[in-house]
């Protein structure tokens, strides 16, 4: 960064694809120390530097220091996931009476867009904005029939430092024929730092949801209405340490090997509303998440098995990170009782998620009632 010119954005080469295509990284930097590094491969959040209560910055998202790690193994670190995030049962559904057959890549099911989802594509940089709210916009065109999905889909993702300690993610999509769309970001958060060697079991999690979706052994929602969180290990409404109940003998914790469930958020009017808070006691970092999506997948890093060396050469193990993925509910195309994920020509899919970083005051974690919504609402 060149401080003398007050530039808050930089663009550089991060790696090369096997065919020699350049993978770029754009760095967005705020005056308050927040810094986001966006990689064109997967339109990914490659690094996110956030100050702690003493002003020390740490990268709080898992991933790799060099591009080769992302290419070698598909693990969705920080990636934009689509065309349909999460799972579709049997890798098939019906749309307007016609059967749609997808690529199955998770047993018999389709997961996170299929064999080569949006996370495995090198996106185009179409706009860069410098100034007080630096931003980068990336675009990808998904061809009709890609991974089996109907319709040519034009997708844009904008990452923006929107305000003091705020990172905004805006996603839009347009189609030329009826299809389904469900996008998310798959960042793995550890507020103690990606290189800290600590897990997230002491992170305090709040989720603004009264219900969650119980799943079967294939992580597909059971054929029943959403389950109430009351009197279960899935009740995070008042804020609970992630590890407090993760080893309780609950059938849904068994089947998910921990938390890997969709929480049903209150209906949205198109504007982001409070969905979750994650707080780490030692650094004092607090992440507040706002979104306009109907669901939040909470994943406690259950399948990190120590076989991947990430940033700083750290081996990532179970519960080393927490994913908070706002999106439509899983298997929605097969569940007419779920909020729809259909997109028709002339419509615009819009996904907005705001990540706001604060600090615990006096070591105490605030309650949901203390959170102000974007625009000053409550």
* The pLDDT of residue 364 is above 50: no
**pLDDT at site 11:** 97
Alpha carbon separation from 78 to 92, 220, 305, 349, 357 (Å, rounded): 27, 23, 18, 21, 17
For 158, half-sphere exposure in the C-beta direction (CA atoms, 13 angstrom radius) is 17
Which residues on adjacent β-strands are paired with residue 128? 136
State which H helix or E strand residue 345 sits in.
none
* Residues 307/189, Cβ–Cβ less than 8 Å: no
* The pLDDT of residue 6 is above 80: no
> Three-class SS of residue 105?
coil
For 346, half-sphere exposure in the C-beta direction (CA atoms, 13 angstrom radius) is 0
pLDDT digits (tens, 9 = 90+) for 287-345: 999 999 999 999 999 999 999 999 999 999 999 999 999 999 999 999 999 999 999 99
**pLDDT at site 268:** 78
- pLDDT range class, residue 259, cuts 50, 70, 90: very high
- Residue 335: which residues within 8 A CB-CB, separation 6 or more? 221, 329
- As a whole number of angstroms, the distance between CA 359 and CA 159 comes to 22
Total domain count, the chain = 1
CA 302 distance to own-chain centroid: 16
- As a whole number of angstroms, the distance between CA 233 and CA 256 comes to 13
State which H helix or E strand residue 344 sits in.
none
**pLDDT at site 361:** 62
Supply the mean pLDDT for the chain.
Answer: 93
* The pLDDT of residue 1 is above 60: no
* The pLDDT of residue 107 is above 70: yes
pLDDT digits (tens, 9 = 90+) for 169-220: 999 999 999 999 999 999 999 999 999 999 999 999 999 999 999 999 999 9
Q: Count CB atoms within 10 A of the CB of residue 328.
A: 25
Query: Which residues are the active-site residues?
Result: 186, 325
Closest alpha carbon to 296 in 278, 279, 276, 280: 276
In this prediction, residues 275-297 reach a mean pLDDT of 97
- As a whole number of angstroms, the distance between CA 373 and CA 232 comes to 28
Q: Residue 360 class from Cβ within 10 Å (0-12 exposed, 13-18 middle, 19+ buried)?
A: middle
Domain span including residue 169: 3-376
**pLDDT at site 294:** 97
**pLDDT at site 378:** 27
**pLDDT at site 163:** 87
pLDDT digits (tens, 9 = 90+) for 130-182: 999 999 999 999 999 999 999 999 999 999 999 889 999 999 999 999 999 99
Q: What is the pTM of this model?
A: 0.93
**For the domain that residue 189 is a member of, what is the CATH number?**
2.70.98.10
């Amino acid at each position: 960064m060149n401080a003398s010119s007050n530039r808050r954005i930089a663009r550089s080469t991060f790696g090369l694809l096997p065919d020699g295509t350049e993978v770029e990284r754009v760095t967005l930097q705020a005056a308050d120390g927040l810094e986001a590094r966006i990689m064109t491969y997967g339109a990914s959040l490659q690094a996110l530097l956030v100050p702690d209560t003493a002003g020390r910055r740490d990268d709080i998202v898992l991933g790799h220091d060099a591009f080769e790690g992302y290419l070698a193994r598909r693990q969705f670190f920080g990636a934009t996931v689509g065309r349909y995030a999460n799972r579709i049962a049997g890798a098939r559904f019906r749309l307007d009476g016609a059967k749609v057959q997808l690529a199955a890549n998770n047993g018999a099911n389709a997961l996170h867009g299929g064999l080569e989802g949006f996370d495995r594509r090198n996106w185009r940089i179409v706009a860069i904005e410098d100034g007080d709210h630096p931003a980068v916009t990336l675009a990808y065109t998904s061809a009709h029939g890609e991974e089996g999905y109907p319709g040519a889909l034009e997708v844009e993702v904008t990452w923006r430092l929107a305000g003091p300690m705020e990172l905004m993610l805006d996603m839009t999509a347009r189609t030329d024929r009826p299809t389904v769309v469900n996008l998310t970001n798959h960042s793995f958060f550890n507020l103690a730092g990606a290189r800290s060697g600590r897990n997230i079991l002491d992170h305090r999690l709040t989720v603004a949801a009264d219900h969650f979706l119980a799943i079967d052994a294939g992580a597909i929602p059971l054929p029943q209405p959403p389950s109430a969180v009351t009197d279960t290990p899935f009740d995070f409404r008042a804020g609970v340490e992630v590890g407090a109940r993760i080893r309780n003998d609950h059938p849904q914790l068994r089947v998910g090997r921990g938390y890997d469930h969709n929480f049903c958020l209150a209906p949205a009017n198109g504007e982001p509303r409070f969905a979750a808070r994650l707080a780490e006691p030692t650094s004092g970092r607090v992440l507040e998440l706002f979104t306009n999506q109907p669901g939040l997948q909470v994943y406690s890093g259950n399948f990190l098995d120590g076989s991947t060396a990430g940033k700083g050469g750290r081996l990532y193990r179970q519960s080393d990170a927490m994913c908070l993925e706002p999106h439509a509910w899983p298997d929605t195309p097969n569940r007419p009782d779920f909020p729809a994920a259909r997109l028709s020509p002339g419509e615009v899919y819009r996904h907005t998620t705001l990540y706001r970083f604060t600090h615990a005051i006096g070591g105490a974690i605030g309650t949901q009632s203390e959170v102000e919504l974007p625009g000053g609402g409550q």
